[in-house]
Structure 1
Amino acid sequence: MSLAPQPHLTDDERERGLRLLVFEAAFSSSTGALTSGVVLTAFALHLGASNLWVGVLASAPFITQLLQIPAIAVVERLRARKRIAVLTSVVGRAMLPVMAATAFFTGTLPLLIFLAAQYVLCGLSAFGGCAWNAWMRDLAPENRLGSVFARRTAWTAGITLIAGLAAAYILERTAAGSSGRSLAFAAMFIVGCTMGMVSAAIVARMPEPLMAPAGGRIPLLRLLRAPLTDLNFRRLLAFVVSWQVAVNLATPFFTVFIVQQLGFDVSMVMVLSAISQLANLLALRFWGTLTDRFSNKTVLMVSAPAYILGIVAMIGASQSSNATFVIGWLGFLHVLMGASVAGVTLASTAIALKLSPKGEATAYVATNAVAIALAAGLAPILGGLLADFFSARKLELLLSWTSPAGTVSFPLRLSHWDFYFLLAGVLGLYAVHRLSLVAEEGEIERREMVEQVVGRTLRAIRNSSSVAGLRVITELPPSLVRDARVRLRLTRMRKRKALRTALR
């Protein structure tokens, strides 16, 4: 097993590498499911972390992406992307046992060690991620990017779902603040470390195409200047920055909101996370098909607003004291957000790779990562700093309907984290506006894609229905629309032909 790049890559070797790429996701996703996200936040709360601590911890995976800048120079100089990706993965995941050990201590020092280890882990992951992304850009054929990463993401969602349910079961059987829960957190991080090492071993077996010969040494600033002079890529960066601020201002605190403001146990959060992962898994193939058939931007224009709507609708959970309703509402929203974020994740990753010129992916991908780092890294820190400010404030609106039968009131009370969700919605709408300015080859109108999706759904209903009248109802309007479009296109073609004839 060699970590050196290969001068020539056969079709069989490329296919084997793509199969390993999908298979490796099972182990890397296990590490992520057991040591990040809800588990990581719950671990921090178990150690006594404040809102600011949670915000700083949530920013670690993003703010450390700034290490992509020196990583560009290292990748371009060493030109050994696989070696960099494997070594950083092994050393970074060695921090997980250190974090596991903090579960058995109390005070500020364990929190500092926990936070420092997380930053080392995320920093090395970011450094290796620069090499990994550029490597994958050259390994996966452009016309198969959507399908390959859809299958990989499906593995990720499936394993994350299973690991999340297992974590929820373990946490459910341990009392909050008990030594049993400390042992549970430590065990999850040790298992996560083991899975991470297996992941690194699989990555080491994947082939790496030889990078194109360097045309002389290029200064780092000049390397980063190329993506910034690309107008279309700058528009993509504007969307990325505004989107990451909108999402990461609120979503890192979902666990805190559900546990502290709504009063549920951490295991409830894990179950909701598992529901979200299941919805993610079921929606992945659907979104993957749409990205290949239409465009990544078109998918984003549908999935991103749906995800933002889910964030804003979290406000509804704090408006009721009925636990059954709240649980059902949270479950519905996690299904919505899980399904929509599948499209956002898949399409945003693919569009960044697609807009990166082949052979220059390192600089483009790293620039995109730096933009994400600054936006997504600062947003949760800002949220943590403002947590105490919003916790002492409340906004109440009273809607009432008066009729001869009496008056019905609909009170709306916004407090604490509700403000974050509302603010995230406003910023999310601006992000969608910025996305509309990005140009992608092959994109179609969002309305046309929605019409086709609805049409497919209606056909499925028609084929499964035993009511004959429904067939006519669902069949007539689409046929009229298709006929109208054909006539419109024919008219346009005739006008263009007549114009060309006149000019001659």
Structure 2
Amino acid sequence: MLGFLRPSPTLTPQETRRSQQLMMWGAVSGGALFSLGSGGFMAAYALALGANNLQVGILAALPPVSQVVQLPAILAVEGFRKRKAIGLPAWFLGQLVWLLIAAVPFVLDTPGSLAISAVIVLLALRGLFNPVWVTAQNSWMRDLIPTELLGRFFSRRLGTMTAVIVLVGLAGSFFVQWWQDFAPSDQAIYAYSFLLLGGWVTFGIIGPVLVGFSREPLMPPAPESNRSAWSILWEPLRDADFRRLFRFLFLWNFAMNLAVPFFAVYMLTRMDFSLPMVIGFTMVSQVANVLFIRVWGAMADRFGSKTVLSLSASLFLLVIIGWVFTTNPERHLLTIPLVTVLHVFAGVATAGVQLTVQTIALKTAPTGSVTPYVGIAGIGTGLGAGIGPIVGGALADFFDNHLFRIDLSWTSAGGALELSALTLTGIDFLFVLSFCLGIVTLNLLAQLREEGASDREVAMRDLIGGMDPVLRAVSSVPGAGIVTAASYGYVKRVPGADVALGVMAYELASSTQAAVASAGRGRRLAEDAESLVGRALGAAIDRVGDAGEYGIELARHATRGALHVGDDLVDQMEGVIQSSMAGSLRALDRVAVDPVQSLYGTGYGVLQGALESGNDPVRAMRAALAAARSMASELGITEDEATRAVAQGAMNAAADSDAEILDSVRENLPAELEDVRRDSS
């Protein structure tokens, strides 16, 4: 009867693929249900039950702190070596606890200390079951997924899970808002009960059922026989590399979780946002997560998980400190735009951190010892992520009665002017503390060793698509001195700022690629592509703010992305270049970017995009020069100035490729650009 719980000595390729899919969708359903009982939903539920900051912190701490239960779970898995039989029943029991949490408002008075205490106890009870499943699942997945595919598989699973969570979260938030708008005030809290009940009926059952149909590979023999429990648990900690990983995971998660669990509370209380608005911002973060997870996965496979973790973690620090400026001390004109941008970058950063932390732990583990290594790594993560919210909640309650303020004042004979430059109170202090501790902890990452990992700068150049070579070449362009290597070097010293620029560059190139591909499916390639590229670039300009400072990069990535439209538009390459350059140049001209900068950037981007997409660089350069001539008068410069700027950009792009490409492009420059040819020799 329980034969489906037994491991299989061998799996066919078809059974392996089917089991991988079942495990992925099981995890997706589990994540969907958990999302309804965590984050903004749990914060709002806790506040409705009467929780203070410390109690909110305890609720946020329970899931990660419960990872300590992985210690006996590791022993059980290593001893019995039947992961499905151990993990699946524990997961199902943990899912049942959500029904009890949903029932609290029906049996206890709310708001009240007894009600919030009951929810804390029930979440702690769930914490006894879920880590058992996590431990068994991690070991199971390690044997089911080939090592070289770990990054892509987990990125695909995380991306799918995030997409489902977005839909579930939006639907759930609007249900809560609808219920609270129409129900009597004393029944408003029942919205969260019915939400959890509906989530359990939809997702709580299907997840364990899907996993029940998957096949578990037989665990390989343990490296040592008759090992004691103490020996099993201490094996990872005797590994110097793993100790460094454990220390980083604990401190990083402690630093981040001083502040992260209070984002939703901050928006609900300090900013007075509605629950759908809070969940909506969370979904913005989740969408960014989905869109970028595959990028991080591919980069992790190419450059190493440690390198990607360095990039994504530094970006997350930028997000943390950015929350300080969302209020001053209350909502202001830029609050909503800033919160939106922070959620986008938080989604991008979280995707990279979640993906790489798991894969680093898996790569560190020797064959046959995955369970203790991954389990102890989970305990380090859980302890840090659990202690952080409790300390953060206590500090938030303490700092509620404290204020730190920096004012700017100007006094003259006509009077005095005072402006509030910075105000910190309550949760604001958590953001600053989290940021400072995060910077210290990030330095520990350099001590980790990963075989085959590339330098951070190598991956950064890949992400940003070659920004450094462009900035080094700027000095040769008349009027382009505003963008200097020194200014970019300063940006790179701000934690996460270089990654933020790289993410924006990647998104701009992707947007213009999609725009041109979409226009190419219609009959009016030039007109439609010009409009769509201009629109995509306009959106990027709004996010950058100072378009003049980044004019070259914006122009370059817009035209570079347009050349990645696929083989079906190769015969229309001249039209693609003409339309993408026109759309880019007009969009930048509207915000008063120096046209010479813009033309230089488009010249560089056209040649770079042609090389990356396998198109003829000489043909691309000629099309770019023709487009420059046609746009010169509209931009208020001569044709000679326009073609010279484009040629210089194209020559520098060729120089950053290889000598053969440079020679080919140089030889095909028109005679009137002889001085450009000579300068590039």
Same fold, TM exceeding 0.5?
yes
1:210 to 218, 228, 231: 218
- Give the conservation status (yes or no) of the 8 Å contact 2:271–2:330: no
Alignment of 1:282-297 (within 5 A): 282-297=291-306
Task: Kindly report the root-mean-square deviation, in angstroms, between the aligned alpha carbons of the 2 structures.
Answer: 2.4
Per the alignment, residue 82 of structure 2 pairs with 80
Superposed, 1:392-471 pairs within 5 Å as 392-399=401-408, 409=419, 411-455=421-465, 457=509, 458=556, 461-464=559-562, 465-466=580-581, 469-471=600-602
Counterpart of 2:381, as a letter, is I
- Write out per-residue CA displacement over residues 2-61 of structure 1, whole angstroms, 9 at most, x where no aligned residue: 011011122221111112122223312221221222211211111111111111111110
Count of matched residue pairs: 485
Q: Which residue of 1 aligns with 2:143?
A: 138
Does residue 343 of structure 2 align to residue 334 of structure 1? yes
CA shift for structure 1 position 189: 1.0
- Residue 292 of structure 1 and its aligned partner are, at CA, apart by 1.5
Q: CA offset at residue 206 of structure 1?
A: 1.3
Q: Among residues 54, 68, 80, which one is paired with 1:52 in the alignment?
A: 54
**Given the alignment, which residue of 184, 195, 199 partners 1:192?**
199
- The CA distance in 1 between the partners of 2:198 and 2:174, in whole Å, is 16
1:242 counterpart (245, 251, 255): 251
Determine the C-alpha separation between the residues in 2 that align with 1:239 and 1:260.
32
Offset, 1:167: 1.5
Alignment match, 1:125: 130
Q: Does 1:173 align with 2:178?
A: yes
Instruction: Classify 1:212/1:225 alpha carbon distance in 2 versus 1 (closer, same or farther; 3 Å).
Output: same
Cα distance in 2 for residues equivalent to 1:158 and 1:79: 34
Shifted more, 15-24 versus 43-52: the winner is 15-24
Look up the equivalent residue of 2:191 and give its one-letter code: A
After superposition, where does 1:2-151 map in structure 2 within 5 Å?
A: 2-104=4-106, 105-106=108-109, 107-151=112-156
**Whole-angstrom CA distance in 2 between matches of 1:217 and 1:353:** 24
Q: Secondary structure at the match of 1:337?
A: helix
Among 366, 369, 393, the alignment partner of 1:357 is 366
- Give the drift of 1:115: 1.3
Letter paired with 1:263: D
- CA distance in 2 between partners of 1:399 and 1:441 (Å): 51
Other-structure match for 2:468 = none
Distance 1:460 1:82, change over 3 A: farther
Letter in 1 for 2:81: R
Work out whether residues 149 and 346 of structure 1, in 8 Å CA contact, stay in contact via their aligned partners in 2: yes
CA distance in 1 between counterparts of 2:601 and 2:334 reads: 34
Q: Within 2, Cα distance between the matches of 1:36 and 1:252?
A: 10
CA distance in 1, matches of 2:48, 2:288: 28
| Residue 491 of structure 1: aligned partner | none
CA contact (8 A) 1:35 1:188 kept: no
Report 1 or 2 for greater relative contact order, CA contacts < 8 Å, sequence distance ≥ 6: 1
What secondary structure is seen at the aligned counterpart in 2 of 1:395? strand
What TM-score do the two structures reach when normalised by structure 2? 0.68
Conserved? CA contact 2:362–2:370, under 8 Å? yes
What SS does structure 2 have at the residue aligned with 1:412? strand
Deviation at 1:421, TM superposition (A): 0.2
Distance 1:73 1:25 in 2: 23
Amino acid at match of 1:339: V
| Contact 1:64–1:126 under 8 Å retained in 2 | yes
Following TM superposition, by how much is the alpha carbon of 1:229 offset from its aligned partner in structure 2, in angstroms?
A: 1.7
Partner Cα distance (1:150, 1:140) in 2: 13
345 and 307 in structure 1: CA distance in 2 versus 1, 3 angstrom threshold: same
Whether contact under 8 Å (1:232, 1:439) holds in the other structure is yes
Secondary structure, counterpart of 2:31 in structure 1: helix
Contact 1:25 1:153 in 2 (8 A): no
> Aligned residue for 2:497?
none
1:473 is matched with which residue: 604, 610, 613? 604
After superposition, the C-alpha distances for 1:116-149 in whole angstroms (9 at most, x for unaligned) are 1111112210122111111111111101001111
Q: Is the 8 A contact 1:34 1:164 kept in 2?
A: yes
> C-alpha displacement at 1:401, in angstroms?
7.6
Q: Which moved further from structure 2: 40-49 or 472-481?
A: 472-481
Residues 477 and 20 of structure 1: is their aligned pair in 2 closer, same or farther, counting only changes over 3 Å?
A: farther
> What amino acid maps onto 2:200 in structure 1?
C
Structure with the greater alpha carbon radius of gyration:
2
Query: 1:261: Cα distance to partner?
Result: 1.9
1:477–1:297 distance in 2 versus 1, CA, 3 Å: farther
The whole-number CA distance in structure 2 between the counterparts of 1:291 and 1:401 is 51
Q: Distance in 1 between matches of 2:285 and 2:656?
A: 36
* Residues in 2 aligned to 1:450 and 1:389: alpha-carbon distance in whole angstroms: 40
Alpha-carbon distance between aligned partners in 2 of 1:166 and 1:75, rounded to the nearest angstrom: 38
**How much has 1:245 moved relative to structure 2?**
0.8
What residue identity is the alignment partner of 1:19?
Q
Matched, 1:259 2:278: no
Which runs of 5 or more structure 2 residues have no equivalent in the other structure? 466-505, 510-555, 563-579, 583-598, 609-650, 660-681
Does the aligned pair in 2 maintain the 1:352–1:368 contact within 8 Å? yes
Partner secondary structure for residue 7 of structure 1: coil
Distance in 2, Cα, partners of 1:460 & 1:231: 46
Question: Given the superposition, is the C-alpha separation of residues 403 and 202 from structure 1 closer, same or farther in structure 2, using an over 3 Å criterion?
Answer: farther
With normalisation by structure 1, the TM-score equals 0.91
2:389 is paired with a residue whose SS is helix
- Aligned residues of 1:21 and 1:152 also touching (Cα < 8 A): no
Letter in 2 for 1:187: F
Query: In the TM superposition, what is the alpha-carbon distance from 1:381 to its structure 2 partner?
Result: 0.9
Moved more, 124-133 or 19-28: 19-28
In 2, Cα distance between equivalents of 1:121 and 1:271? 27
